């Protein structure tokens, strides 16, 4: 059961590299990237690739929002001897320079989307707090993740339209996460199905890019507002400066009428001494990443699910025709603008990711059932 990776001094447990430190079926190790031109009229591209050692699967997806089009290409294959093989059919993730330069590629001919892009980091990779959650006795989340902002270079083709991607104007962020979270074929809920408060999911994950720094924000709450996670950090471009904890996160979200999509949000980061930083968030363009990519809406294609030795598919939807009820159970990644007011009253503008989801009841916003809308 050896692989070429066993020749490197990277072992973490008394096992070969292909055997991770837990036999939990839900162990995963994955990449996420987004790429934008800063204009909601241009493509808003999101790419992911995951390795699931205990399920024997590697899979990936690319989804682009362009106008009213939601275009997906996805692939899956049997995991071989080498977890470092990051190619699935026409997809490729290639580490050119660790924590600095990464190439992502989708060859033409597999749908209405292709690209060959290089991500070049413009800020240090920052480790986020550990994500841990237990429901009854079962550990459902136990993950680590780092985040990083950067610039893109290369070529992107969407629906027959070619875009020259230049680093001065094409930006984005990426993250790497690994650990345990629900993946693969759905498991029977058993007694957990009766514990509905624990299955409510309020989530904000935002990566804001400003001139001299990035700000990363994570909030996960239960129905009552009890925090599973809550963190806000300023990540300076200067690698010599440590990331700065900004304070406890407070949120005020307004919703688009008739659903649970955010129209705007105010985030406040409050220090124990009363110092406060305030950010006004304005979503510009939503990419509904739950549709077609494996995040759990479709039971025939979930991250880590066995699809056979190799399978590549493409699909597309009109965003205006996406099922409104299904969207209530769907995370969405918004290209957003941000206006930050610092402790000293100075303001600065930025742009980036505002990922948002509120699934199930949530007391602060008056949702009492899973299908309540504003």
Query: Stretch 247-266: mean pLDDT, rounded?
Result: 97
Query: Stretch 263-284: mean pLDDT, rounded?
Result: 98
pLDDT of 23 strictly over 80: yes
User: Whose CA is closest to 319, among 288, 298, 297, 292?
Assistant: 288
pLDDT band, residue 197 (cuts 50/70/90) = low
Specify whether the CB–CB gap between 120 and 131 falls below 8 A. Answer: no
pLDDT band, residue 154 (cuts 50/70/90) = very high
**What is the residue-averaged pLDDT of the chain?**
96
What pLDDT was estimated at residue 82? 85
pLDDT of 112 strictly over 70: yes
Which phi and psi angles does 324 have, rounded to 5°? -65, -35
pLDDT band, residue 198 (cuts 50/70/90) = low
Query: Stretch 282-302: mean pLDDT, rounded?
Result: 95
pLDDT band, residue 191 (cuts 50/70/90) = confident
pLDDT band, residue 199 (cuts 50/70/90) = confident
Its pTM stands at: 0.96
Largest CA distance in the chain: 59
Query: Stretch 147-153: mean pLDDT, rounded?
Result: 98
Query: Stretch 130-143: mean pLDDT, rounded?
Result: 93
What pLDDT was estimated at residue 196? 66
pLDDT of 241 strictly over 70: yes
Average the pLDDT over each of 121-125, 198-202, 326-330, 362-366 and give the range with the smallest value: 198-202
Q: Which long-range contacts (CB under 8 A, 24 or more apart) does 188-192 make?
A: 191/136, 192/135, 192/136, 192/138
What pLDDT was estimated at residue 35? 98
Q: For the chain, how are helix, strand and coil distributed in percent, rounded to 5? A: 5, 55, 40
What pLDDT was estimated at residue 87? 97
What pLDDT was estimated at residue 81? 84
CA atoms of 337 and 307, how far apart (whole Å): 38
pLDDT of 181 strictly over 70: yes
Query: Stretch 49-74: mean pLDDT, rounded?
Result: 98
Query: Stretch 2-15: mean pLDDT, rounded?
Result: 91
3-state secondary structure of 152: strand
Share of the chain above pLDDT 70, in %: 99
What pLDDT was estimated at residue 360? 94
Give residue 175's Cα distance to chain centre.
7
CA atoms of 116 and 229, how far apart (whole Å): 35
What pLDDT was estimated at residue 45? 98
User: Whose CA is closest to 309, among 7, 135, 116, 58?
Assistant: 58
At 281, which helix (H) or strand (E)? strand 276-287
Average the pLDDT over each of 129-138, 300-309, 339-348 and give the range with the smallest value: 129-138
């Amino acid at each position: 059961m050896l692989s070429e990776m066993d020749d490197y001094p990277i072992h973490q447990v008394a096992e070969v590299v292909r055997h991770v430190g837990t036999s939990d079926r839900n162990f995963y190790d994955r990449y996420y990237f987004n790429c934008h031109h800063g204009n909601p009229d241009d493509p808003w591209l999101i790419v992911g690739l995951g390795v699931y050692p205990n399920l024997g699967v590697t899979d990936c997806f690319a989804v682009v929002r362009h106008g009213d089009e939601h275009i997906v290409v996805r692939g899956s294959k049997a995991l071989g001897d080498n977890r470092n093989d990051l190619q699935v059919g026409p997809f490729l993730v290639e580490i050119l320079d660790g924590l600095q330069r990464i190439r992502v590629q989708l060859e033409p001919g597999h749908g209405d989307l292709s690209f060959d892009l290089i991500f070049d980091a413009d800020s240090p990779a920052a480790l986020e707090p550990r994500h841990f959650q237990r429901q009854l006795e079962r550990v459902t989340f136990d993950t680590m993740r780092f985040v990083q902002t950067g610039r893109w270079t290369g070529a992107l083709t969407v629906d027959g339209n070619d875009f020259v991607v230049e680093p001065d104007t094409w930006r984005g962020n990426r993250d790497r996460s690994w650990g345990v979270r629900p993946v693969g074929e759905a498991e029977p809920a058993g007694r957990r199905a009766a514990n509905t408060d624990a299955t409510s999911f309020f989530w904000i994950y935002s990566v804001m890019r400003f001139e001299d720094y990035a700000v990363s924000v994570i909030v996960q709450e239960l129905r009552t507002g009890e925090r599973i996670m809550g963190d806000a950090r300023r990540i300076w471009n200067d690698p010599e400066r440590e990331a700065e904890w900004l304070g406890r996160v407070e949120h005020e979200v307004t919703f688009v009428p008739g659903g649970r999509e955010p129209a705007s949000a105010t985030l406040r980061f409050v220090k124990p001494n009363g110092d406060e930083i305030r950010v006004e968030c304005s979503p510009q363009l939503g990419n509904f990443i739950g549709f077609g990519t494996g995040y759990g809406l479709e039971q025939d294609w979930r991250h880590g699910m066995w699809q056979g030795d190799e399978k590549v598919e493409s699909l597309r939807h009109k965003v205006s025709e996406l099922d409104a009820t299904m969207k209530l159970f769907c995370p969405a990644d918004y290209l957003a603008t941000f206006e930050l007011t610092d402790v000293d009253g100075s303001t600065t503008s930025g742009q980036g990711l505002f990922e948002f989801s509120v699934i199930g009841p949530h007391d602060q916003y008056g949702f009492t059932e899973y299908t309540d809308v504003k």
